[in-house]
Structure 1
Amino acid sequence: MTRWPDHIAGYTTHARRGEISNAFRYGVDFVLLDPEQNAGPALFSRNRFNLFAVHDRHHGGERGNGAGVIWAIEQFRKAGLNRPFSVHLLTQPTCLGYQFNPVSFWLAQDGDALIAVIAETNNTFGDRHSYMCHLPGFAAISAADTITAVKLMHVSPFQDVEGTYRFNFLVDSDRISIRIAHENGDQGVIATLMGARKPITSTSILAALARRPFGALRTISLIYWQALKLKLKGASYRPNPTPPEQETSACSMSANV
């Protein structure tokens, strides 16, 4: 039986570290789907217009011209994942055609075990860079495992392109919990995404739009609102530097904490 995508009606938190503090928590809607299946309720579609939709061209490789799951599988293979695995995409859907995702996640699983993640990051300047996260030997990733990568792409114009990301992932059958900490000395940001997994329905989509109108358009509006708050607090603006040439970078180390 084909399983419909999961709807994660959760929340995200961001907490800025350093001399200028700023923190917020917002509700968000993500979907977790098998990118090779098209099943779903009437108000959700793959690769065509709908109230909620996910399009292959928005993910995997060049921004706006992505190859979808084919790209993700190729990246996992290049990283050395040679045993059988399944791939799911965790992302914010488009809402009435509008799309913006600060970060989406390609999840590679061996059975129920999470064994690798590609964190596909996008900034408001039109750039994209992906971080390949896994443990040595593609061992199962638990919430206790921290995977560290060097920050290579400009994300916030109020943070330097320096320091490291520390990723923590929990992907259970009933919930998702992801933590990303950018650490650059005493500066940085801690971001989380959490929510319960439930099959997506037209009712859950309508409820999401009632709680959080305009979906991804609301996301980009809140990003600019927080940027304005930081500017008014005196945060220094950094111009967008040249993005990294490589589309994917590997984790630099992993540790159990």
Structure 2
Amino acid sequence: MTDLWQGALVDGRIWHARKGDVERAFRYSGLYLALPVRALEQGLLPIRPDAGGAWSLRRRDYGHRDGSALSAFIHDQLAPVGLGHCEVTLVTTARSPGYGFNPVSFWLARDEGGLRAVLAEVSNTFGERHLYLCHHADNRPITRSDRISGRKLFHVSPFLPREGHYVFRFDPGPDRFGAWVDWIGEGGEVKLQTSLAGPARALTPRSLAMARARHLFQSQKVIALIHWQALKLVLRGVRFISKPEQLPRRRSEAKDRVSRDV
């Protein structure tokens, strides 16, 4: 059994489906790392922060983005809602040679009762980011069937307005990881569905080396696919929305329970 809190590789399948005016869907694969933060900072994993190399992980790409400890950052996010005691695993992708970009990284927080919260660290191609902290109002465990909603407050795609709300769903394993995020427009209709899901396997020096060889330029692949899909939408006549100034609020909570019919 592969536990994400012991360190894992996730062979993810990424899916996006646009609804409404122009319907379009695409899928691609990506290799994700599930990194227990405490073990990562203690140097107990095959990949170490700020160690360099062809596949690397930099502290300043996450959290406070100043190179400070990741554990301090995530504790600062969880403690105000009473979850500072949780152990945390970061699900993310490594930096490729010369470049790194993560549209979204997930910080999974659990205790002996199960998954209590997920911090979605969302980045756009303009160098901005927003934090969505997903948890139940009473901090009960998040199950695979739970759907948690929060307002959309961050501009990501130039083809979608900054309005409506997100509906989040998570599956933390074992032996797999899954995250589903739907965007619901102001009228209540599902406008975009996205998912990252796949099986998990043990993170070892050998499995990491093989993953590095197969996905060496993954970050470049991700940004190229983003622009390729954008070009296809432009060619289909989808209206381009200029980026608004980012809102002062850079962190928000998603904790409203929604109907499973959404």
Q: TM-score, normalised by structure 2?
A: 0.88
User: Which residue is equivalent to 1:111?
Assistant: 112
Aligned counterpart, 2:14 = 12
CA RMSD, Structure 1 to Structure 2 (Å): 2.0
Conserved in 2, the CA contact under 8 Å of 1:150 and 1:252?
no
Residue identity matched to 2:37: P
Name the counterpart of 1:80.
Answer: 82
Q: Secondary structure at the match of 1:138?
A: coil
- In 2, are the aligned partners of 1:118 and 1:133 still within 8 Å (CA)? yes
CA displacement, residues 97-116 of structure 1 (integer Å, 9 cap, x when unaligned): 42100000111101261000
Bigger shift: residues 53-62 or 100-109:
53-62
Paired residue secondary structure (2:101): coil
Percent of pairs with identical residues: 34
Between structures 1 and 2, the one with greater strand share? 1
Answer yes or no: is the 8 Å Cα contact 1:119–1:130 preserved in 2: yes
**CA pair 22-210 structure 1, distance change in 2 beyond 3 A:** farther
1:54 matched residue in structure 2: 57
1:5-42 Cα shifts (integer Å, max 9, x gaps): 3111221100011111111110011101112222233x
1:45 aligned counterpart, secondary structure = coil
Give the counterpart of 2:194 among 168, 191, 202: 191
Asked if the contact 2:167–2:183 (Cα under 8 Å) also holds between the matched residues in 1, the reply is yes
- The CA distance in 1 between the partners of 2:112 and 2:160, in whole Å, is 38
Q: Which runs of 5 or more structure 2 residues have no equivalent in the other structure?
A: none
Equivalent residue, structure 1, for 2:29: 27
The answer to whether the aligner puts 1:229 opposite 2:232 as a matched pair is yes
- Cα deviations by residue, 1:65-84 (Å, 9 ceiling, x for unpaired): 565221111111122325x3
Give the SS at the match of 1:8. Answer: strand
The equivalent of 1:243 in structure 2 is 246
C-alpha distance in structure 2 between counterparts of 1:157 and 1:14, whole Å: 15
TM-score, normalisation: structure 1: 0.90
Relative to structure 1, the CA distance from residue 241 to residue 117 in structure 2 (aligned partners, 3 Å threshold; closer, same or farther) is same
Unaligned segments of structure 1, at least 5 residues:
none
- The residue identity in structure 1 corresponding to 2:224 is S
In the TM superposition, 1:149-168 aligns within 5 A as 149-168=150-169
Count residues with an aligned counterpart. 251
CA–CA distance in structure 1, aligned partners of residues 222 and 32 of structure 2: 12
- Structure 2 CA distance for aligned equivalents of residues 20 and 156 of structure 1: 15
Please tell me whether the aligned partners of residues 145 and 254 of structure 1 are also in contact (alpha carbons under 8 angstroms).
yes
Alpha-carbon separation, structure 2, partners of 1:228 and 1:202: 39
SS in 2 for 1:57: helix
Q: 1:31 to 1:223 in 2, by over 3 A?
A: same
**SS across alignment from 2:244:** coil
How far is 1:57 from its partner? 1.3
Counterpart amino acid of residue 149 in structure 2: T
The offset of 1:209, in angstroms, is 4.9
Q: What is the aligned partner in structure 2 of residue 126 from structure 1? A: 127
Query: What is the CA–CA distance in structure 2 between the aligned matches of 1:232 and 1:65, rounded to whole Å?
Result: 41
Secondary structure at 1:227's aligned position in 2?
Answer: helix
